[in-house]
Structure 1
Amino acid sequence: KTKPPILIDRYHFKADREGYLGGLREHLWVFDLETRKGEAITSGLYNERSPVWSPDGKRIAFVSNRAPDPDRSGDTNIYVVEARAGAEVLPVTTFAGPDEGRPAWSPDGQWIAYLQGDEPRLHAYNLNKLAVSPAAGGPARVLTPSLDRAVENPLWSADGRSLFFIVEDDRASYVGRVPASGGNVDKLTGGRRVVSSLSLGSDGKAVLLQSTAVEIPEVHALENGEFRRLSRQNEAWLSEVELASTEDFTSKSKDGTVVNSLVVKPAGFKPGQKYPLLLIIHGGPNGQDEHSFSFDQQLFAAQGYVVLAVNYRGSSGRGSAYQKAIYADWCNKEVVDLVGAVDEAIRIGVADPERLGLGGWSYGGILTDATIAVDPRFKAGVSGAGASLQLTMYGTDQYILQYEQELGVPWKGLEPWIRVSSAFLHADRIKTPTLFMCGEKDFNVPIAGSEQMYQALRSRGIDTQLVVYPGQYHGIMMPSYVRDRLERRLAWYGKYLMPGGQPAQ
């Protein structure tokens, strides 16, 4: 049967996986277990998400953007509604920016904890703070105003006197606690590890996932600041493999910026020996490389590479100013930081300057393109789901609100768009053989971004390939394609960086 035409009349009209956005919205429903019937309790041109029942089971707190045109606004807020059809939706927060996260009710149902972001124009670089507000609405109180680190996963203590949460902090994370009335933040865990999925029982006992660079996330109990392991899902496999070591790594960029990263060294690493280096660039950019288990990093190190994972400016974990430093200036300071980290790896004798490779996915792919356009030293590159001619992304990807808030519309000012399209416009400088990869149906960073860079290098006679994964979106999910992507990356790097194009093991 022939599908009907798609009518589009929205400002934000497409999203990865969802496709073209029509008039459908996500609303809250309540399902009665006895009658086996459901009824909608919200309606309108809004989406509702992250619903949480109140302690007495009568109300639901949720997150929604209820601006006159939600497509043109990043102003989400917390709302409460009684769990019945026709009930009035009551606003809890009024901050002119994102109030989000999974709302957390206090045990007595009088307060709601949530995450407060930054002003709307900076929504792509949010550093979330912990805040509480009366459940009936009223002045909000930010509990981590001076922390300068992003928080997540807020939970109330059983007595309602304090809140627990996770803090993202310079390549690691920890569990924090603060009085509900405000005060100093207590750091309850430490070490070079990552914690997530914190949960508290009614008896106050805490469990969470804990991971290190050599430990896949497992469930642990948290007892007086110590971890007690409860699950051993991956223990058998880990006992059969020899893993690479991961260390903190610091460099200074040419403009004096201190940049913190990770260096992953192969098992049996020999000091004084120079190794082929892979600069693997994380996406986001609002994210960080951290001391948690990375299969990709371990796989590359197992082939004999030293892996460098750089938290360039724009990354999280280093405070608000650091992650907002690239606002409206993409692919500039980030590249300076990436190149500076590689220079440091060469200087200390870890990296062989004649065997440098790089790669990344999403914003990591974008930065791969930008880096090879200014630094010809890299002998092999793999750019996944990237783009370089950003002007052509206007109206073709899902970031229209960020583009117009950050760069402005191109017909009123072309210069910012030309500046962030520099990699493509200087493709004549690229010497690095590069493999481009993308999902066929990617609406996050559409395939055109990879196609354009592939075409530019092919036109110039630079060794290049383009791999398209049929039916895949921004994240490659089909198991056979996941394996294929790993194998192709290993083969491409091996061809240019290993003696005789040594095949991957």
Structure 2
Amino acid sequence: NPGSLLTTKGSRGGTVALLSSDGGVYLSGSQHFRNYLQNAPRLFVDKVLLSTGVKSRVLEGAADAVDSLAGPLDADFAKVVFVRQSRTEVPNSYLRDTKSGSLVRLTNNTDLTPEFTALQRKQITVTRADGIKFVVQVTLPADYRAGTRLPGMFWFYPFEYTDQAGYDRTLRTFNVNRFPNSGPRTIEFMATQGYAVANFDPPIIGETGRMNDNYVADLRMNLYAVIDELDRQGFIDRTRLGIGGHSYGAFSTVNAMVHTPFFKAGIAGDGMYNRTLTPTGFQSEQRDLWSGQKTYLDMSPMLYADKMQGALLMYHNLEDQNVGTAPISSIRMMQALRSEGKTAALYQYPYEDHGPATQETILDLWARWTAWLDIYVKNAGAPQKPVATAAGVSGN
């Protein structure tokens, strides 16, 4: 990775290469290493003299932190501003003097969610029955003790690849030194409620142009592998598992609940559950409905609504503008589950696009998710009244 050319605004308003006083240009990028867990990606800035092609390094990120270039204060990189974060330090801006090496902190950002930062995090590698390996991020309560089996909550989003190497290339950007920032919709919230949370992007492997022919089989193998490994390491009670996802993750959540017996409950948001409603392709699927009809139908969980196991909580935003996730999909899925007597509920949120954003919606989601999972997963088997039955709820 030679890096990308650094530019600046020219005297006439356009973008031009940043040129040093001795006639050099700058290339900036991330240096990657084979073992990304032991040697995390590292920022670099190189200067290349146009007259000779000689390259020299003017800035390199720390080995135990994540440094991101904000920009130099002069054309010779004598002083440069960058943002640094680590596993224990929130992102802050710094001024470095590249001549003396002195470092001055410019901002004083603080950790706004210490309860999330204190959670225990582990990265584990799981192996499918066919030998394919992939990574799972496990988050545990701050006071977790080894060997304690917790109810589990999976959150996932599958991606398509042609082979193991294709998946492995996506791991290059992972940085073990990154501060554990938690957004308002992070599923890690459930770790604060006593769950073992598993977050992963499992691979769907297939030939170019036909990757999804193996979707259902790969979905099963992926979930088997995660459950078996988390069970082997003593993190989860495999009889109390929930699963969820957003968009394509929601679609895959419902597929998991109709094609496997593992999950007591699911949470699916802004999903598409009938692939005939996306007839010209979706995700990495390049075939249209008529040339890939069997795959489209096999992947449509609505057609298997009668096989649903567990209690499904759906949510869908009424202003969802994503072409592949029209709100009608969730409405029809709810009707199908109702007709089959399944335990399900649907909540629809006004004025929200493809992904909830307002404080009111997000707080409402967390209240409903926590109650749903506590009843159907954490306290599975306890004689309690359900939050909602197959009659469901529509509206906010």
CA distance in 2, matches of 1:384, 1:157: 54
Is residue 173 of structure 2 the alignment partner of residue 293 of structure 1? no
Partner of 2:290: 411
Cα deviation for residue 343 of structure 1 reads 1.9
CA distance in 2, matches of 1:453, 1:173: 43
Cα deviation for residue 329 of structure 1 reads 4.8
| Residues 124-152 of structure 1, C-alpha deviations (whole Å, 9 max, x = no match) | xxxxxxxxxxxxxxxxxxxxxxxxxxxxx
Cα deviation for residue 226 of structure 1 reads 11
| Residues 223-244 of structure 1, C-alpha deviations (whole Å, 9 max, x = no match) | 8899975433334x45677721
Residues 176/54 of structure 1: CA separation in 2 closer, same or farther (3 Å cut): closer
Q: Residues 211 and 218 of structure 1 are in contact (CA less than 8 Å); yes or no, is this contact kept in structure 2?
A: no
Q: 1:345 aligns with which of 217, 225, 230?
A: 230
Q: Secondary structure in 1 aligned to 2:203? A: coil
Partner of 1:275: 150
Partner of 2:376: 496
CA distance in 1, matches of 2:41, 2:240: 33
CA distance in 1, matches of 2:248, 2:67: 24
Q: Residues 279 and 308 of structure 1 are in contact (CA less than 8 Å); yes or no, is this contact kept in structure 2?
A: yes
Cα deviation for residue 257 of structure 1 reads 0.8
Identity of aligned residues (%): 23
Q: 1:358 aligns with which of 212, 218, 243?
A: 243
**Aligned 1:140-289 pairs, distance under 5 A:** 160-166=24-30, 174-177=42-45, 188-191=61-64, 198-202=70-74, 204=77, 205-208=80-83, 210=85, 212=87, 216-220=90-94, 230-235=106-111, 237-238=112-113, 243-282=118-157
Cα deviation for residue 275 of structure 1 reads 0.6
Cα deviation for residue 269 of structure 1 reads 0.6
Cα deviation for residue 184 of structure 1 reads 12
Partner of 1:148: none
Partner of 1:378: 263
Residues 403/386 of structure 1: CA separation in 2 closer, same or farther (3 Å cut): closer
Partner of 1:21: none
Q: Residues 167 and 173 of structure 1 are in contact (CA less than 8 Å); yes or no, is this contact kept in structure 2?
A: yes
Q: Residues 358 and 381 of structure 1 are in contact (CA less than 8 Å); yes or no, is this contact kept in structure 2?
A: yes
One-letter amino acid of the counterpart of residue 198, structure 2: L
Cα deviation for residue 433 of structure 1 reads 0.4
Unmatched segments (≥5 aa) in structure 1:
1-51, 62-104, 109-155, 315-320, 395-399
CA distance in 1, matches of 2:315, 2:199: 20
Cα deviation for residue 391 of structure 1 reads 1.6
Residues 264/330 of structure 1: CA separation in 2 closer, same or farther (3 Å cut): same
Residues 339/229 of structure 1: CA separation in 2 closer, same or farther (3 Å cut): farther
Residues 489/404 of structure 1: CA separation in 2 closer, same or farther (3 Å cut): closer
Partner of 1:58: 12
**Relative contact order higher in (CA < 8 Å, ≥ 6 apart):** 2
**Aligned 1:80-159 pairs, distance under 5 A:** 105-108=16-19
CA distance in 2, matches of 1:436, 1:309: 19
One-letter amino acid of the counterpart of residue 346, structure 1: D
Cα deviation for residue 220 of structure 1 reads 4.8
Normalising by structure 2, what TM-score? 0.72
Q: Residues 157 and 202 of structure 2 are in contact (CA less than 8 Å); yes or no, is this contact kept in structure 1?
A: no
Q: Secondary structure in 2 aligned to 1:438? A: strand
Q: 1:448 aligns with which of 324, 328, 344?
A: 328
Ranges of 4+ aligned residues in structure 1 off by more than 6 Å? 156-159, 167-172, 181-187, 222-228, 283-290
Partner of 1:485: 365
Residues 53/488 of structure 1: CA separation in 2 closer, same or farther (3 Å cut): same
Q: 2:198 aligns with which of 283, 294, 308?
A: 308
Q: Residues 84 and 91 of structure 2 are in contact (CA less than 8 Å); yes or no, is this contact kept in structure 1?
A: yes
Partner of 1:435: 313
One-letter amino acid of the counterpart of residue 410, structure 1: L
Residues 440/216 of structure 1: CA separation in 2 closer, same or farther (3 Å cut): farther
CA distance in 2, matches of 1:158, 1:206: 21
Q: Secondary structure in 2 aligned to 1:477? A: coil
Residues 218/403 of structure 1: CA separation in 2 closer, same or farther (3 Å cut): same
Normalising by structure 1, what TM-score? 0.58
Cα deviation for residue 328 of structure 1 reads 4.5
The structure that is helix-richer by fraction is 2
Residues 336/392 of structure 1: CA separation in 2 closer, same or farther (3 Å cut): same
Partner of 1:80: none
Q: 2:304 aligns with which of 426, 430, 443?
A: 426
CA distance in 2, matches of 1:452, 1:168: 46
Residues 284/209 of structure 1: CA separation in 2 closer, same or farther (3 Å cut): farther
| Length, aligned pairs only | 346
| Residues 329-380 of structure 1, C-alpha deviations (whole Å, 9 max, x = no match) | 5844355324311221012221001110111111221221121122112111
Residues 412/176 of structure 1: CA separation in 2 closer, same or farther (3 Å cut): same
Q: 2:221 aligns with which of 336, 340, 361?
A: 336
| Residues 113-172 of structure 1, C-alpha deviations (whole Å, 9 max, x = no match) | xxxxxxxxxxxxxxxxxxxxxxxxxxxxxxxxxxxxxxxxxxx99974441124799697
The CA RMSD measured in Å over matched residues stands at 4.2
Cα deviation for residue 187 of structure 1 reads 7.5
Cα deviation for residue 442 of structure 1 reads 0.5
One-letter amino acid of the counterpart of residue 429, structure 1: K
